[in-house]
Structure 1
């Protein structure tokens, strides 16, 4: 039953798709008042059913664990307590406590957003690992927030800033995204309830919802239209989730209130109006639309989300799966004109991956799994600095740029907050299932315990260093099950053996290889994708290309000439120093390659004894996975000569 709770819970909030409620009617362990009406093609697994095995993803997760556990609870809660006027000399008081900086500074409108993200990250990490340390830290933060809410005594209002910021938003005055920050807190508290079984978190977040309903009920349609132009994150999604948990129609009213007609209605007509729109303001709106569609089982929500997804992926995204320039969408297909030092905001990818998981569950279309792999490996995996565990706001596409990382105590950008979640939930999209079939979407070393079927399987791989993956059945009951292995669209061939016997493959790339049998313990399936070098051009310039090996974007190593020493970190005196950073790209940087773009293997050769390392024959430039290039310059997009 514990597994079932986590499964349905995580589905509900978009971490692991929600529709599993219909799959297990009446078995919600008291967590949900409503069932989704939409029947999915596939279901996600509870995050606690998956464990990461040794590999690059687990290394990132362990670094993330060290960071989030090092963050001091008192310092995280300080701005909240300050807003409530809580002072306790026995705790060191206001003057002795070192304050966090950056976007958590007391003079920043977004203060408190990181605490919300952290609540989600801790909950996800607890589900992913079962480590009680994450629950203990979570409980202390939730308890502290409950105290602040009680002392504020403002009908359930809870934040690190006064309600005047909300009033400014309602009045159409300049303010930096107060509902965005509240969304992170609401989402974090919901995660705490669902993943950590924290009843106090549910009580606190319901009071926040009750306050919001009273606050927004008197708003006129004209006021609403103005206030929704201010970024509000995915608070519509969170209120739909709270509605599903409680069944209270006031929360559904709130979710519908945050439907942004100006941005969403054109999608119903198939119009791409993304140009110049703030990308991370736009994407979460579709998560709310998708949740409504799942709950109601009808309407145009799925059609709108699918159109938006296809538009972003096909016309506004780089080879890495990331999008935007200076946080905004640009004119469709004009990629080559936006290869700057401020491309690829990490929060955008975080939200696109969330949307992708919803859409995949609706259809089981392999294109969503292909994209998820592309963005996860080429952006999210490489967002984190292996030396420090700090993360990058942008993934620059400018030739000669480099990654600029956060600091442990003086950044707390939005991408730091979403990073708390990104590296805590790698297991969420590896496996899916239908009634009698298991789907393997990602090749990441991991184990799965499908308790309902009494089926355990282990995946061993060092992909993408090798295209080979081994699946070993650790336990199975006497029943017929299908193992669906993703045959990626990038693959030119595949070899599969079952218990050492070659399997004839009838499927083609961009589908699933289905193996149906009564599985037994120690059954072994080996799958191997020979990976090839390919090039992908920008939509608007066929001679501006990126180089890939399989699904992995390769970048040219360009050294550290004229870079700050040590490798650059953010300036603690500035909020948005990732924008002010001068990359000082050397004028003699090589940006041109003489290669055959149709057959790049003729001009790019693997380096002997070095995994995933190549060298161009004519220029002598070393190419390595972009996710593994840190603290030095690189080139992703090249001009062909």
Structure 2
């Protein structure tokens, strides 16, 4: 799928991004015994040129891990309180509040986002399960928003907050008159003191649209139209340059919502507004077929392409389709990890550098939630199994891993660094974006199993379920233990008489062979774009069976064939490194040998458990499905070596240990930023500063108008030790960070991080003038960002002498 120029949205290669041993294998190359071609070419069936998902209310899941996720999410949705999400909406409209505000992000300036997601999740869950409690809550929330909007009096229906310079939190509505007057201030995620306000407002729009679509609540559209009018006034007050300045701040899929509002109301004003919410800096290069994604916040961008996809469906402008398709291909092939997720610390990095970004900050879950949405759009324009090869990968290995089914709680990042445990949300005091997209993701596991177009039914995901295909007045049941077993049965459970139609079964790209039968006999099937097309006269009781061999294979990372991951069918496997509750220390495990697959044997085929025999370093390992290791530490990626390469790697490791030993001998004081006790011991002071963890290292940053400072010792045994060097550790890919470093109020460095060494840790030394430390037992170090910039993150600070033998100053 790699191309350097724009191309038609209908053109997508079968070659799958993760470079499997089977990648590029077309159905026609399967074993001749897999199925039989129709005798006459004239009887071949043409794959439809477009498709639409079967309505989710016609699909019901049966027992499987996906069903368990739906059940756990239902419990959480009914535990949550609509009135607590409505707190700010009521408060800022001057209405009595009915519930205490939630903690976490809901108590920050992005407040109000949660209600929109909650509306969407309830609406989706109603469609997925028919649960009447979900619909009742949707109707209640919409009724309350009608009251809020009436009390506001101008269409506004928001709950965002704003932090004033004195630190007080107030109604965020007050930023909009400033913006309309041309006073626009943003460093990327803040807008005049509010945190991504249009992002938060978009989620409410999306929730209202879902309430209409899935629950038939027409009042929701009325509220959306009124609120849209308020936002329209804000944009109408700005010229193009001011609009682009405002759009530097994350705005979610606000343009998608207005495109959809146009689709529902046919009022052209919403289409005009949707097309105006267009970030030229990001989207123009994509329309030109240029991958300039590195250093852009990933989840800020994906909704922009979803919006272009929706606009293409409404206007037919080919450049919108080209941009969406190009983006999807670049992300899935060149910026994605083996589980289908993308980004490191929420940001895209240079293409084909996956191996240098395997950290505990990989794969923000919202990114995959949105990439799956984008995939659905592209697939609907031109059905091709390649889209669902990706969709299945990400849906199984990332989204299903995202929620702990025991607790119903969610991860923010999906860490892929060896030994890292998943960190889950709490029920009442987090409400990160990935919690909120999570309650949506786990309300709709049946939304993409089946697609349809005229007399063709597509079977794209092998998830146990029952289907009512309204178009043919037919019912089906899919039964399987896939992906633990490779046998899938798809039965016509109800059908009046006999009917002729086509069942298009996806044959995964990783499958080196497949056996397709109808009623126990070799199926007559045409092939197209990764599908087996069975066109016949069907009767109740007919059964299609598909058998796929779930063999092990290694996939290398994009750009580095020495770093690999192990898969079994669609399922990513991971080495089990112990319980998440226990500390894990050690180097990332490696694999050493000439034939690695030969060194892996099954422990339990049924549970997909395997072990290595003699090829693991520092010892052999047990592999289990990655997604299901909810409360385990694991390893997903492995450097692979032959015996000679392994010996060389060990020598390099020893040299690095010697360097660290010398550095320790010269050390006077060390500050472990981001760690509670060291920060207390060093008298840390800060404002608008946050601890961070990245690649196993803890650190701290300071945002614009903030700072952090701390004390460090400058003497040994009460004596000066001569000139000192301050060493700060940064991640070498950091870009556009500008700050001063001060010692006792005197600037010793004006630092600008410009991505000087991508993909590596860097230690930068700052000599301290002797007069700043002479005769002092300690000094105060301060990191002070320039306005609109960030200081750091800084992952540790050391004070050390110029040489290990340094003595007292003279």
Normalising to structure 1: TM-score of the pair?
0.86
The answer on 1:80 being equivalent to 2:89 is yes
Query: In the alignment, what sits opposite 1:196?
Result: 215
Query: Which SS does the other structure have where 2:336 is aligned?
Result: coil
Deviation at 1:443, TM superposition (A): 0.4
**Matches of 2:605 and 2:505, distance apart in 1:** 30
**1:307-343 CA-partner distances (Å, limit 9, x unpaired):** 1100001110011110000000001111111111100
Instruction: Give the distance between the partners of 2:300 and 2:177, measured in 1 at CA.
Output: 20
Deviations 1:178-217 (A, max 9, x none): 0000000001001101111112111111101111112221
1:102 aligns with 104
> Which of 243, 263, 266 in structure 1 is aligned with 2:262?
243
SS in 1 for 2:341: coil
Aligned to 2:330: 311
Aligned to 2:602, which of 596, 602, 606?
Answer: 606
Please give the alpha-carbon distance, in whole angstroms, between the structure 2 residues aligned to 1:460 and 1:182: 41
Matched, 1:410 2:447: no
Q: How do 1:47-446 and structure 2 match up within 5 A?
A: 47-87=56-96, 97-105=99-107, 108-161=108-161, 162-167=172-177, 171-174=183-186, 175=190, 176-446=195-465
Measure, in 1, the Cα distance between the counterparts of 2:123 and 2:49: 25
Q: What residue is the counterpart of 1:632 in the other structure?
A: 632
Tell me how far 1:507 sits from its aligned partner. Answer: 4.7
The question of whether the paired residues in 1 share the 8 Å contact of 2:479 and 2:490 is answered with: yes
Distance in 1 (CA, whole Å) between partners of 2:302 and 2:451 is 24
In structure 2, distance between residues paired with 1:540 and 1:246:
47
Q: Determine if contact 2:525/2:534 at 8 Å carries over to the other structure.
A: no
| SS in structure 1 at match of 2:492 | strand
Once the two structures are superposed, what CA deviation does each residue of 1:587-614 show, in whole Å capped at 9, x if it has no partner? 2x45111255xx6431111114751111
Aligned partners of 2:73, 2:320: CA distance in 1, in Å? 35
Aligned with 1:475 (options 480, 494, 506): 494
Instruction: Give the whole-Å Cα distance in 1 for the aligned partners of 2:591 and 2:562.
Output: 10
1:131/1:608 Cα in 2 relative to 1: closer, same or farther (>3 Å)? Answer: closer
- Deviations 1:46-72 (Å, cap 9, x if unpaired)? 111111111110000000000011111
Structural mapping, 1:445-524, within 5 Å? 445-477=464-496, 478-503=498-523, 507=527, 511-524=530-543
In structure 1, distance between residues paired with 2:577 and 2:209: 45
Q: Is the 8 A contact 1:50 1:128 kept in 2?
A: yes
Query: Residues 75-102 of structure 1: CA distance to partner in whole angstroms, max 9, x if unpaired?
Result: 11112112223236xx5xxxxx543111
**Mapping for residues 510-589 of structure 1, pairs under 5 Å:** 511-560=530-579, 564=581, 585-587=584-586, 589=587
List runs of 5+ in structure 2 lacking aligned partners. 1-47, 162-171, 642-810
Deviation at 1:533, TM superposition (A): 0.6
1:455 CA drift (Å):
1.5
| 2:8 corresponds to | none
* Post-superposition offset of 1:294: 0.5
CA distance in 2, matches of 1:476, 1:440: 18
Cα distance between partner residues in 2 of 1:244 and 1:377: 32
Structure 1 contact 116–189 (Cα < 8 Å) conserved: yes
* Aligned residue in 1 for 2:6: none
Moved more, 470-479 or 405-414: 470-479
CA contact (8 A) 1:152 1:158 kept: no
Q: Provide TM-score, normalisation by structure 2.
A: 0.69
Q: Shift of the alpha carbon at 1:157?
A: 4.0
d(CA) in 2 for partners of 1:42, 1:393: 32
Query: Which has a greater percent of strand?
Result: 2
Q: Of the candidates 588, 591, 596, which is equivalent to residue 589 of structure 2?
A: 591
Contact 2:160 2:197 in 1 (8 A): no
C-alpha distance in 1, partners of 2:547/2:604?
A: 21
**Cα 1:609–1:218, aligned 2, differ >3 Å: closer, same or farther?**
closer
Q: Give yes or no for contact 2:576–2:624 (8 Å, CA) kept in 1.
A: yes
1:220 to partner: Cα distance? 1.2
Which residue is equivalent to 2:796? none
The structure with the larger Rg is: 2
CA contact (8 A) 1:82 1:160 kept: no
| Aligned counterparts of 1:147 and 1:159: Cα–Cα separation in 2 | 14
